[in-house]
Amino acid sequence: MAHSEYKIGVVGTGRMGSNIARHLHDEGFSIVAVFDVIEAAARMLAEEIGAEAADRPARVTELADYIITVVTDDNAMRKIFSESDADSLLKSAEGKLFLNCATISPQIHVDVEKLAEKRGAQSLEGCMASSITQARDGTLYLMCGGKRDAFDKAKPILDSMSVALRYVGDAGRAAQVKALVNMVMNINTAALAEGLGLGAALGLDLSMLQEVFAQTGANSRVLETDGEDMENRDHECYFSAAHAAKDSGIALELAKAAGLNLPLAEATKRQFDKMIEIGKGELDKSGVAELTFPGRG
Query: 247: closest CA among 187, 163, 166?
Result: 187
Whether 41 contacts 19, CB under 8 Å: no
Q: Using N-to-C axis directions, what is the helix angle for 15-26 and 39-49, rounded to 10°?
A: 10
Report the C-alpha gap between 171 and 13 in whole angstroms.
24
Angle made by CA atoms 20, 26, 31, in degrees to the nearest 5: 65
Q: Convert the pLDDT of each residue in 177-227 to its tens digit.
A: 999 999 999 999 999 999 999 999 999 999 999 999 999 999 999 999 999
| Positions of the chain with pLDDT lower than 70, given as ranges | none
How is the beta sheet containing 122-128 ordered, strand by strand? 52-53, 30-35, 7-11, 66-69, 97-100, 122-128, 140-146, 162-169
Q: By the 8 A CB rule, do 291 and 275 touch? A: yes
pLDDT of 132 reads 87
Is the distance from CB of 197 to CB of 147 less than 8 angstroms? no
C-alpha span between 90 and 62 (Å, rounded) = 10
Vertex 96, ends 89 and 151: CA angle to 5°? 115
Q: What pLDDT does 135 receive?
A: 94
Q: Can you give the pLDDT at residue 129?
A: 84
pLDDT at 297: 72
Identify the structural domains of the chain with CATH numbers, from first to last. Answer: 3-171 (3.40.50.720), 176-291 (1.10.1040.10)
**What angle do helix axes 106-118 and 173-201 make, rounded to 10 degrees?**
150
pLDDT of residue 286: 98
Phi, psi of 131 (to 5 degrees): -125, -170
